[in-house]
Structure 1
């Protein structure tokens, strides 16, 4: 038995040894195959790298050949340019020599023809060439001036249109009557009073007519004095709110409202200053500005006009690169003299300039106020901007209204003034007096005189005719020839 066990054990060991040998051989074969595959891949990569290197060498060689060809072409082109330059230089010298010879022949021919010496002929030729050069220079100057004027006109139109489009001011709203709504129908009876004593007392104290209409739940205050109408309106509104209306109460409220006028002026002035964006206005000037809310020019409220014109001036100055603060301030104060025209002699421009100087305004502001109607020459660009902004605000459609009879009379006076000039056959005032068409007799005014006549008429209108804004003068000369064929 022990011998059998030993034999089995020996066989088992032999079997294990055979298995180990078998697995070792299979692992070795796998390793061999893996190494062979890796070796094959490496060889293929090496072959690819060698091929890529060969291709790159070929490309480099081709580029070197191309560069060499380019260099040869550049050298050939450079030699060609040098040869051309030499030919051009020879031609220039030849042409200069021929030109001098022709000039000398021309001078001699002129001298022989005119019996002049060579020096005299040369002097005449020089004078002729100088005259031609001057004429060409004048033509160039005129062309440049026209181009500059057209460019400036376009830029000016852009600036003015931009400034005007930013404004949204109301149209003319000043009137001689004020409507006050009533809270109830019985308030009419209180306002009228027993046997009309309240309404008579109110009219006597305020100096304003009170109109009460049937079927309308409102009363109308009528007066051409704006200040009286404002005081009467405030008085009546306070009486309506209080409800107690009798002669004694009317008188006491009226006096209180009159005493509060200074405060109302100050408040209106402060509101206008804030709207215009102006700083550093004295209290006295602020009150004076507030008084202008009760003044109107052709139906346009003066204080509203100052605010609107100041905003326009600021926009224009900003576009032109001028002093925005100075232009706005001067424009806002340019009509302040209208607060004194009914108290002191002189134009509102003169009075306003003196008042601004007394209140410590800068010389530039004073000059702009005094010059806004050309009573004195404008000293700064901002003074000119004041004139432009004033004209834009005053002449925009709806800003001012005009009486029909006064309008017709002004148009007739304008046409008569223009018709006085020699050679004028017909005058037509158009566009509300902003343009005048002048037809002249072609036998009395030639083409050269048309422009001079237009300037003369414009100067005559500027000096002898009062107007706001600008008036365009167009002179028309037309020559017609008629014939009848029989």
Structure 2
């Protein structure tokens, strides 16, 4: 019995536990199904609410769009109505103008008919008068016309000749005076300063002891300074002074300024010399550019190439016959501007060509061309007007002038060089140089006479046609040029013009 109980009770407990678990699981399943049903119903209700809201929004948007469309349609209808009103008004105006035009056209036709009738009447009356005049004068209409034209032509010729004679007389009387007035007025209005034409500069020393410091140990200081600046430094017995010699005025100025700063500073050794020379060279280059800009500003000239400004600035350190070349160029520019204004040439072109006419003297080039050719080439590269390029090339008659402005530049250059006080070459040296030119040319066999003109820039040589043939004239000119180059020292270059002519004189008795 006990054994049965031990077996039955556990089995009954197991069965009872399984039944309880099944009942609990069934209860949980029912609760989950109910919860799922509630979630489903909530989702359906929420979807229905969103659907209604979307439909309401769509209806509102549709209503707004419809209202907007209706407003636009009303505005368009109003605009169309206004346009139709304007068109109707213009049509009414056109109808009125068409009616007026028709009325005017009818009036013009009536007036034209009246004028035609009047012209016919005048023609008949004129014909009667003409016939009457022909009877009275005894001349036909064509004969009377020819007679009147001939008399008018003779009177016109006489009056025209009298007027021409009067104009020529007045021109002869006033031309020379006018030309003198222009030149005198131009010369009076320009008077820039001049400087001495020298190739040496003197630097004052505080004491003769400074000469030894300038020379340095075994001459290293003076060699460094001469090497860096490209000048000759002459230390002689002159008390408390050192002489700097160089043909290049820019290098001479750099050396002079550097030496003065070294003396003032007191520290003179190769490293310090190199530092000072570099600094002074930079300052001089800046000054060159500033002087070029200042010259252009004073003359009111703009849009100049940078290379042109620097070339002009280098002229500040260049002299010719004691005349500062930059001041000379400014003077020529002012003179050319005034002369161009007097004779009706282009003032700006003449002034620009004049300030640039000696720009070749400031060019850094080893070319064997003269400064006019170098300057013209520089102006061409700078993009200057061809008229200006020709004026620069022709200002010493090396090439023919192609414009009135080029001639003005020639005249202004001559005025600046020839006015009293402009150049400091002594009259004795000047005359002696011209005499030597003529004597060298006349010393050659076959030369009858030689004339130095244009301040010694040109030598005109008259050749004996019996002693020298045409083919030998060129060789003679070459030999004279070589002799001048060997015997004389002169600025620029000299142009030789050989003249050989055959002149035959015969008398009829």
TM-score by length of 2: 0.50
Task: Give how far 1:332 is off.
Answer: 0.4
Match of residue 376, structure 1, among 399, 402, 425: 399
Correspondence for 1:191: 214
Correspondence for 1:306: 329
- 1:252 matched to 2:275: yes
- 1:263 matched to 2:286: yes
Partner Cα separation in structure 2 for residue 276 and residue 216 of structure 1: 45
RMSD, aligned CA = 4.4
Correspondence for 1:225: 248
- 1:392 matched to 2:415: yes
Structure 2 portions without partners, runs of 5+: 1-160, 460-476, 485-491, 496-509
Partner Cα separation in structure 2 for residue 433 and residue 285 of structure 1: 29
Task: Give how far 1:184 is off.
Answer: 6.3
Match of residue 260, structure 2, among 204, 223, 237: 237
Correspondence for 2:199: 176
* SS of corresponding position for 1:376: coil
Partner Cα separation in structure 1 for residue 323 and residue 343 of structure 2: 28
Correspondence for 2:23: none
Contact 1:276–1:308 at 8 Å: present in 2 too?
A: no
Correspondence for 1:289: 312
Task: Write the deviation string for residues 29-84 of structure 1: whole angstroms up to 9, x where unpaired.
Answer: xxxxxxxxxxxxxxxxxxxxxxxxxxxxxxxxxxxxxxxxxxxxxxxxxxxxxxxx
Correspondence for 1:324: 347
Task: Write the deviation string for residues 1-29 of structure 1: whole angstroms up to 9, x where unpaired.
Answer: xxxxxxxxxxxxxxxxxxxxxxxxxxxxx
Pairing of 1:79-478 with structure 2 (within 5 A)? 148-182=171-205, 187-188=210-211, 190-193=213-216, 197-212=220-235, 216-340=239-363, 342-401=365-424, 408-414=432-438
Partner Cα separation in structure 2 for residue 382 and residue 309 of structure 1: 12
Distance 1:356 1:201, change over 3 A: closer
Distance 1:345 1:176, change over 3 A: closer
Task: Give how far 1:428 is off.
Answer: 9.0
Partner Cα separation in structure 2 for residue 257 and residue 412 of structure 1: 43
* SS of corresponding position for 1:278: coil
Contact 2:441–2:450 at 8 Å: present in 1 too?
A: no
Task: Write the deviation string for residues 388-421 of structure 1: whole angstroms up to 9, x where unpaired.
Answer: 111111223443355977853532433676999x
Task: Give how far 1:311 is off.
Answer: 1.7
Task: Write the deviation string for residues 344-363 of structure 1: whole angstroms up to 9, x where unpaired.
Answer: 35343333223223222223
* SS of corresponding position for 2:201: strand
Contact 1:206–1:231 at 8 Å: present in 2 too?
A: yes
Contact 2:458–2:494 at 8 Å: present in 1 too?
A: no
Distance 1:397 1:172, change over 3 A: farther
Distance 1:204 1:337, change over 3 A: closer
Aligned residue pairs total: 305
Greater shift after overlay, 362-371 or 278-287?
362-371
